[in-house]
């Protein structure tokens, strides 16, 4: 699964990434950066294609299908293997795909009997894109709420040391395919939902402070040097 993210970059760095890849030159004021420890129910920086242009904004992490409108049952992940088969996600797979922007994600090892947190990053690029789906519904207060989920796949060799699942990380070519609103072929879409090359990733241990989503400072992404 994937249950904690970071996008620990400045607004200037993110704007540069978006300008280079998606012709976006201005970030909405609602996007506050850096974010060191993002948990479910919080807002993720996301990207969509509205059919005319790419748009960046915020979506609440925790998918709520529009037909249920039940905010108490959020879905933070969707499995790539079944995303086209489940009624919950099928419409969004065809019509409401998004990218979730991050510079790292966290996972916990339980091999020692205690939960040890690790952070995963890419070697060659700071900001990267995760495959996501979005939906919207009207809540009890009459407000439209936009929600999202992260698609996961089987772990690569690096990730499998910690967990058997990982988020789907898309390279730039696959990200453009994923955001193409004219693409409705679910088989073609599923072909790009693969484990990322483990040789392009790095892992390091971080402080247990990341366990508490209230801890939002830089310390949660700092590397813990193992004693030898």
Distance from C-alpha of 168 to C-alpha of 129, rounded to nearest angstrom: 8
Per-residue pLDDT band at 228 (split at 50, 70, 90): very low
Per the structure block, which two tokens stand in for 65? 């299908």
Sorted by sequence, the CB contacts under 8 Å of residue 75 that are 6+ apart come out as: 62, 63, 64, 88, 149
Whether 98 sits among the annotated catalytic residues: the reply is no
Return the sign of the alpha-carbon dihedral for residues 191, 197, 200, 205: positive
Residues in the chain: 228
pLDDT at 73: 85
Domains and their CATH numbers in the chain: 5-221 (3.90.1680.10)
Whether 95 sits among the annotated catalytic residues: the reply is no
Average pLDDT over residues 195-219: 96
Alpha carbon 25 to its chain centroid, in Å, reads 22
Catalytic residue among 2, 43, 71, 200: 2
pLDDT tens digits, one per residue of 9-48: 999 999 999 999 999 999 999 999 999 999 999 999 999 9
Distance from C-alpha of 217 to C-alpha of 70, rounded to nearest angstrom: 32
pLDDT tens digits, one per residue of 109-150: 977 678 899 999 999 999 999 999 999 988 888 889 999 999
Average pLDDT over residues 91-103: 97
Q: What is the pTM of this model?
A: 0.95
Catalytic residue among 12, 32, 107, 173: 107
Per-residue pLDDT band at 56 (split at 50, 70, 90): very high
* Helix and strand counts by DSSP (H, E) for the chain: 4, 13
pLDDT tens digits, one per residue of 158-190: 999 899 999 999 999 999 999 999 999 999 999
């Amino acid at each position: 699964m994937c249950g904690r993210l970071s996008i620990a970059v400045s607004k200037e760095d993110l704007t540069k990434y978006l300008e280079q890849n998606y012709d976006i030159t201005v970030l909405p004021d609602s996007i506050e950066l850096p974010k060191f420890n993002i948990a479910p129910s919080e807002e993720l920086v996301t990207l969509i294609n509205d059919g005319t242009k790419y748009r960046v904004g915020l979506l609440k992490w925790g998918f709520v299908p529009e037909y249920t409108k039940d905010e108490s049952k959020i879905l933070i992940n969707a499995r790539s293997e079944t995303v086209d088969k489940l009624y919950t996600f099928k419409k969004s797979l065809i019509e409401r795909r998004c990218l979730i922007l991050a510079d790292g994600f966290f996972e916990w090892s339980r091999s020692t009997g205690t939960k040890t947190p690790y952070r995963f990053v890419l070697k060659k690029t700071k900001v990267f894109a995760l495959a996501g789906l979005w939906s919207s519904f009207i809540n009890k207060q009459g407000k439209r709420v936009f929600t999202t989920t992260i698609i996961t796949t089987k772990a690569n060799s690096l990730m499998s040391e910690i967990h058997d699942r990982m988020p789907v990380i898309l390279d730039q070519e696959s990200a453009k395919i994923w955001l193409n609103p004219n693409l409705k072929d679910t088989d073609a879409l599923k072909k790009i939902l693969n484990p990322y090359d483990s040789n392009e990733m790095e892992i390091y241990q971080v402080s247990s402070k990341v366990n508490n989503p209230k801890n939002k400072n830089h310390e949660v992404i700092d590397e813990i040097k193992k004693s030898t």
